[in-house]
Amino acid sequence: MARDGSRRKTVVEDADSSVNAVPVERSSSLTIHKMSDDPFSTDHHDPASNTIDILEDFLAEDDILDDLVDETVIILKSTVEALQEAAYDPRSGPRKYIKRPREQFH
């Protein structure tokens, strides 16, 4: 969306045929790809390059998820340690019993 709230339309031409132009809506954060830009489509000439692209995408996502898991573990460990330190009270030992002669007063 543009800053004034209206949507802009741009024309994207197919690389294979410059005869037909297809209007595609674009926003600043999202690009809508045509079906021919899909890496899983069957009209690619080299299936090996498609497999390599998929593998590279998988490895990139795996690295991102590994980093996310590592950061989450660090945050959780520090939170647990902070809670354990806050829960520790050196006065909370066994209760001391003071023997008093209670039966004498009844």
Helix ranges, the chain (H) = 47-87
Question: Could you tell me how many residues make up the chain?
Answer: 106
CA 93, distance to chain mean position in Å, is 44
Which range has highest mean pLDDT (20-29, 60-69, 85-94)?
60-69
**What percentage of the chain has pLDDT greater than the value 90?**
25
CB 2 within 8 A of CB 8: yes
pLDDT of residue 97: 79
Indicate whether 73 pLDDT > 90: yes
Query: What is the mean predicted confidence (pLDDT) over 54-75?
Result: 95
**For residue 48, which amino acid is it?**
A
Query: What is the mean predicted confidence (pLDDT) over 56-74?
Result: 95
Residues paired with residue 22 on neighbouring β-strands, in sequence order: 12
